[in-house]
């Protein structure tokens, strides 16, 4: 594909990059940079107060376990997360929030919510539903192509 700044493919990539950059800058501006991987915090919150394994978190956000480990280490050092030994398998550590981490995830959610509200301002409910259906179709196509929700290991590359 040749570069065409007005093609839907390139506009999709440009939007993704701008969105990422804006969220990153806003997180820094609000002093939330210690949440090095906010989507991992969101995923952990989905376990509704129950700890999750490092692998579960990595899979839920589409990153490798080693990448997740680095982010978890950073957020643990920042006092946001803690590792606890699994009562059923003492060889396994589970990840859970600290009180500081729970507060941080709420602040991160606020950044994402405010950003979403701003970028969807002026879109009708029908337009948002249509966009949602397009995303679901794109995701389905990627799954048909055997896309996975995590990065390849060096052996697979």
The least confident of 13-22, 31-40, 69-78, 142-151 is: 142-151
Residue 151, pLDDT above cutoff 70: no
Dist CA 110 CA 118 (whole Å): 12
Residues 6+ apart with CB under 8 A from 58: 64, 65, 67, 68, 150
What's the mean pLDDT in 8-33?
A: 93
Stated pTM of the model: 0.78
What's the mean pLDDT in 122-126?
A: 97
Residue 26, pLDDT above cutoff 70: yes
Task: Using CA atoms of 38, 41, 45, 50 in order, give the dihedral in degrees to the nearest 10.
Answer: 170
Among 38, 46, 58, residue whose Cα is nearest residue 107: 38
Cβ of 70: how many Cβ atoms within 10 Å?
13
Reported as type and span, the H/E element at residue 85 is: strand 81-85
Report DSSP state, residue 92. Answer: -
């Amino acid at each position: 594909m040749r570069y065409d700044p007005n093609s839907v493919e390139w506009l999709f990539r440009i939007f993704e990059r701008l969105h990422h950059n804006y969220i990153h800058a806003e997180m820094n501006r609000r002093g939330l940079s210690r949440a090095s991987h906010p989507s991992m915090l969101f995923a952990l919150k989905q376990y509704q107060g129950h700890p999750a394994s490092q692998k579960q978190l990595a899979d839920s956000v589409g990153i490798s376990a080693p990448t997740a480990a680095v982010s978890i280490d950073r957020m643990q050092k920042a006092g946001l997360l803690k590792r606890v030994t699994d009562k059923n398998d003492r060889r396994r550590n589970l990840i859970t929030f600290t009180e500081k981490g729970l507060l941080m995830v709420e602040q991160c959610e606020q950044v994402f919510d405010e950003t979403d509200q701003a970028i969807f301002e002026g879109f009708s409910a029908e337009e948002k539903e249509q966009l949602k259906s397009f995303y679901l179709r794109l995701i389905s196509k990627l799954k048909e192509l055997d896309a996975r929700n995590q990065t390849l290991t060096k052996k697979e590359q």
